[in-house]
Chains A and B, each alone.
Chain A
């Protein structure tokens, strides 16, 4: 043994202790003692054991957007929640996808793959699809009698967006509305007064003509946003509607629809509006004077632009205060595990708190569902003219129409394709509307 160990005497002695020969009996007795001590220690010192091994937090998987504009508000939101609720850990499953349909597809895929999302971010128009999938949990029963959840502190119009057939399935995370962005430099060069942006459709067309004369593209209505968002906004401001709430009556093909499409087609034909889906890029390039887009871009568009950007309410046919269709998204519960549902609900309820709403609103262009957060934002940014216009719109939101049935997303695509064909002059507004209405009625 000494030959194996070698080295200084004290070191050698220490090593010999380990290498000494052990009889079977001694080995058995020592092993029993170690096993007994291992079993008895936690029983004798229970408190001490608890301190050494704290219970693990419940893990809630959250499927969500991960594009830069969304990371800006979701990451601080999750961090703030986990700080407040250390017993819950939010495990993000990030999806860098372009739209709500693509995100819904990822969430639906998670159900099919056997690793389902516990909670997912879903666009307002897809709430019904998620409910029809049979994988969305209604929240009414769980929230009933929950003292920590005050429904009255939230905007009813936003809560209605997550309600399907009278049951609440979604809590709103961020709501956006259509807004007008305009290039102040372009306005000045075109001889337009940046303090007086156009309020009516006629004024908008006149402004677009002047912008064109000054070498700019005129105006771009964001017609391509999810197919019917801007179209529905134009229709409602003309007094029309997309369809009846139960979708049994398809109404967009009426005179209001024709008037809305004819107006945009005239803009295109006069060369006052480019027909493109690259909305933000076209505006931030500096060549476009006016863009009708989502308030979600309130932070991103000025950051990407090398010119001064101002916001104004969208022009309406007669200059009335515009009705604005609510876009945006919320969170839906999918976990079937009763225990995990409790933890998931903590996160969902946190999202609609004043604190969370403030985080979301400050880091994006979304409007929060909590009235308190909006009041705080008004106090904090009293001189921010752009922001106050966005906040003013919150009281006027109308629900974004969600088509029922398995063809819901296909119908949105039919509407978008129809608009594109009309704007490009391939078909007249009347024929386009009639054909689309006929196709949609068949699918419904």
Chain B
């Protein structure tokens, strides 16, 4: 706590020349100073976050098509249409499946690899870099590569299956395998991020606690379940929040890999938003999806943050 309100705040002035003060570190400053200091950041957030959200809401209550000369105020009609349409239910279901699977697998693989790397004496940085490379890759470009990996006729996956004496699979043409491909690509691009966060979490565990447990006879499993996992629980929560939000926002990979197909089997909310806004030109309706999507992301983050009650802080 850097700012502390002075004793005389809220009390009537003791006389001329005496003003309210707040404490900043060791100094007492005018209460206006903190507000002035945060103004640039507030302006930035206001212009680039709240203003677009507000504008999206305004568009969502209009029948407005991209670039058209006219628009009409229609109240909540776009929301009513959205909640009554099959495509919203389908996209919501797909978004939840994809984001839940992605966050669990990314966090799981990240944690497993972080545990392995933390015990390495040499080459830790090398492996860390290698695993982090997919995070930095451009998803649209990588999705093109993965599309050819999954191609029925000349893809690597089917070539491997044929080598094993198995038959070809139409990976991107079947509902289940197409969703699996989307999740696989999403996990591939995210687990490196989780790994780095978990490694940072491990660095915060005092060695003395682990050493004491080892001396007391705790085995590897005991140390992991009873000491390491509780102590990195704040990191774990953070990883889940980040992975879920990243997965929900995943659009470019889906657009390139499956384009929401076959039919609408892998269509998520972000893809539906793109489709309505930019292929069907229904800007008002797409804005309604954007607002619902925004609220959903906030709600999921909030639920995960509520889980912090069970988190163990040192």
Contacts from A to B (Cβ < 8 Å): 101-102, 104-105, 107-112, 129, 132-135, 217, 274-278, 282, 285, 287, 406-407, 409-410, 413, 417-418, 420-421, 424, 426
Q: Does B310 contact A (CB under 8 A)?
A: no
Known pairs A102-B279, A276-B153, A409-B281; list 15 more (Cβ under 8 Å).
Answer: A105-B66, A109-B66, A112-B66, A134-B69, A135-B68, A274-B170, A275-B170, A285-B154, A287-B153, A417-B264, A420-B261, A420-B263, A421-B262, A424-B262, A426-B175
Alpha-carbon distance A275/B151, docked complex (angstroms): 11
Contact yes or no, A134 B70, CB < 8 A: yes
Contacts A101-B279, A407-B280 given; indicate if A107 touches B262 (C-beta within 8 A). Answer: no
Q: Does B278 contact A (CB under 8 A)?
A: yes
Contact yes or no, B152 A413, CB < 8 A: no
Alpha-carbon distance A24/B278, docked complex (angstroms): 67
Interface string of B225-263 (1 = CB under 8 A from A): 000000000000000000000000000000000010111
Inter-chain contacts of B259 with A (CB < 8 A): 277
Alpha-carbon distance A409/B286, docked complex (angstroms): 15
Interface string of B142-162 (1 = CB under 8 A from A): 000000000111100000000
Contact yes or no, A424 B173, CB < 8 A: yes
Minimal beta-carbon separation of B214 from chain A (angstroms)? 56
How many chain B residues sit at the interface, stated as a range, is 20 to 34
Contact yes or no, A132 B262, CB < 8 A: no
Alpha-carbon distance A104/B66, docked complex (angstroms): 10
Interface string of B262-296 (1 = CB under 8 A from A): 11100000000001001111100000000000000
Contact yes or no, B151 A133, CB < 8 A: no
Inter-chain contacts of A410 with B (CB < 8 A): 280
Contact yes or no, B67 A112, CB < 8 A: yes
Inter-chain contacts of A110 with B (CB < 8 A): 67
Contacts A105-B279, A275-B170, A409-B280 given; indicate if A133 touches B69 (C-beta within 8 A). Answer: yes
Contacts A285-B154, A424-B262 given; indicate if A413 touches B279 (C-beta within 8 A). Answer: yes
Contact yes or no, A276 B67, CB < 8 A: no
Alpha-carbon distance A390/B152, docked complex (angstroms): 31
Inter-chain contacts of B174 with A (CB < 8 A): 424
Minimal beta-carbon separation of B304 from chain A (angstroms)? 34
**B281: which of A108, A135, A413, A426 is its contact (CB, 8 Å)?**
A108
**A409: which of B68, B153, B264, B279 is its contact (CB, 8 Å)?**
B279
Alpha-carbon distance A35/B260, docked complex (angstroms): 69
Main secondary structure of the interface of A (DSSP, over half): helix
Inter-chain contacts of A424 with B (CB < 8 A): 173-174, 262
Minimal beta-carbon separation of A217 from chain B (angstroms)? 7
Alpha-carbon distance A276/B259, docked complex (angstroms): 12
Contact yes or no, A133 B263, CB < 8 A: no
Contact yes or no, B153 A133, CB < 8 A: no
Inter-chain contacts of A409 with B (CB < 8 A): 279-281
Main secondary structure of the interface of B (DSSP, over half): loop
Interface string of B43-76 (1 = CB under 8 A from A): 0000000000000000000000111111000000
Contact yes or no, B262 A420, CB < 8 A: yes
Inter-chain contacts of A104 with B (CB < 8 A): 281
Contacts A409-B279, A413-B279 given; indicate if A217 touches B67 (C-beta within 8 A). Answer: no
Contacts A108-B281, A420-B263 given; indicate if A276 touches B173 (C-beta within 8 A). Answer: yes
Inter-chain contacts of A278 with B (CB < 8 A): 151
Alpha-carbon distance A129/B70, docked complex (angstroms): 13
Alpha-carbon distance A101/B259, docked complex (angstroms): 14
Q: Which of A107, A287, A410 has the most CB of B within 10 A?
A: A410
Alpha-carbon distance A354/B154, docked complex (angstroms): 43
Nearest to B70 among chain A residues (CB) is: A134
Inter-chain contacts of A426 with B (CB < 8 A): 175, 263
Contacts A134-B68, A287-B154 given; indicate if A275 touches B281 (C-beta within 8 A). Answer: no
Nearest to A288 among chain B residues (CB) is: B153
Alpha-carbon distance A420/B65, docked complex (angstroms): 28
Minimal beta-carbon separation of B35 from chain A (angstroms)? 35
Contact yes or no, A133 B279, CB < 8 A: no
26 A-B residue pairs with CB within 8 Å: A102-B278, A105-B281, A109-B66, A111-B67, A111-B68, A112-B67, A132-B68, A133-B68, A134-B69, A135-B67, A217-B153, A275-B173, A276-B152, A276-B153, A276-B173, A282-B153, A285-B154, A406-B281, A406-B282, A413-B275, A413-B279, A417-B263, A420-B261, A420-B262, A420-B263, A421-B263
Please name the 9 residue pairs, one residue from A and one from B, whose CB atoms are nearest each other, closest first: A108-B67, A134-B69, A111-B67, A417-B263, A108-B66, A133-B68, A410-B280, A112-B67, A105-B278
Alpha-carbon distance A210/B153, docked complex (angstroms): 18
Inter-chain contacts of B69 with A (CB < 8 A): 133-135
Minimal beta-carbon separation of A50 from chain B (angstroms)? 41
Contact yes or no, B67 A133, CB < 8 A: yes
Minimal beta-carbon separation of B178 from chain A (angstroms)? 11
Alpha-carbon distance A133/B71, docked complex (angstroms): 11
Inter-chain contacts of B261 with A (CB < 8 A): 417, 420
Contact yes or no, B263 A406, CB < 8 A: no
Interface string of B171-203 (1 = CB under 8 A from A): 001110000000000000000000000000000
Contact yes or no, B280 A285, CB < 8 A: no
Alpha-carbon distance A116/B68, docked complex (angstroms): 12
Alpha-carbon distance A134/B281, docked complex (angstroms): 14
Inter-chain contacts of B173 with A (CB < 8 A): 275-276, 424
Minimal beta-carbon separation of B145 from chain A (angstroms)? 14
Nearest to B174 among chain A residues (CB) is: A424
Contact yes or no, A406 B67, CB < 8 A: no
Alpha-carbon distance A421/B281, docked complex (angstroms): 25
Nearest to A134 among chain B residues (CB) is: B69
